[in-house]
Amino acid sequence: MLRALIIDDEPLARSNVALLLARDPAISVVGQCGSAQEALAALPAARPDLVFLDVEMPECDGFELLERLGTAPPFVIVFVTAHQQFALRAFEVGALDYLLKPFDDQRFERVLQRVKERLRVPNETRRFIIRNGDALEVVKFADIDRIEASDYYATVHAGGRSHMLRRSLSELEGELAPHGFQRIHRSAIVNLERVRALELREDGEYQVVLEAGQRLRMSRRYRKTILDRLSPA
């Protein structure tokens, strides 16, 4: 069952999306929010897999809402708006799709199909292809312990080996967040399945302890998000 949250300041728009979602037995609507403030309060408990997000809302628009989260969201984003000019920016922030109002049932069904394809593929079949000299190595998401920033590169630690990937940590954060990864510091992302403990240091800050024993500094700004994602649903 996929958990969906609808965020739109127009009650009719929220109702229309909820009615369309109600037709699909594989999706449960876990909440409807009429503002970004409501959404920020609801997200920790709702824990959605999928969010339908309006762009233009009073006081705080959809893009600002994502910025306030402070980290790449651990859910699939589908923007729903009447304004075509925001499409490029929507995909730049990692949206899976961009529904332009008014849309028909067929277009909505195609969006849901894309969402299901994105979410149903297990991490074991998701992978990076990383060049190592003359070879191209396959690194599965499920094998990754952590990723650390290295100047213009990222160092991917997986299966006891390290691989250099020419991509920014911010870009990787957006790709990996829906698949069980979490940024813990400006220079580190971890696989949550590898987290063994959070330890309190002498300076009052926490560090993340991985199953293999590595200890990584955790920034205070990510503490709540990490605790929410590690807690049982």
| Helices of type H across 73-133 | 87-92, 105-120
Give me the mean pLDDT over the 196-218 stretch. Answer: 92
CATH fold group of domain 2-120? Rossmann fold (3.40.50)
Distance CA 11, CA 62 (A): 16
Per-residue model confidence (pLDDT) at position 11: 95
- The ranges of the chain annotated as CATH 2.40.50.1020 are 124-230
- Regarding pTM above 0.75, the answer is no
Q: Which CATH number fits domain 124-230: 2.40.50.1020, 3.40.50.150, 2.60.40.10, 2.160.10.10?
A: 2.40.50.1020
CA distances, 125 to each of 119, 145, 190 (Å): 12, 16, 18
- Give the pLDDT confidence of 141-186 residue by residue, as tens digits: 999 999 999 877 899 999 899 999 888 888 788 788 878 899 999 9
pLDDT score of 14 more than 70? yes
CA distances from 124 to 1, 127, 143, 179 (A): 20, 8, 8, 10
**Residue intervals in the chain for CATH 3.40.50.2300:** 2-120
What residue has token string 């149903």?
Answer: 120
Residues 62-83: pLDDT tens digits? Answer: 999 988 886 667 899 999 998 8
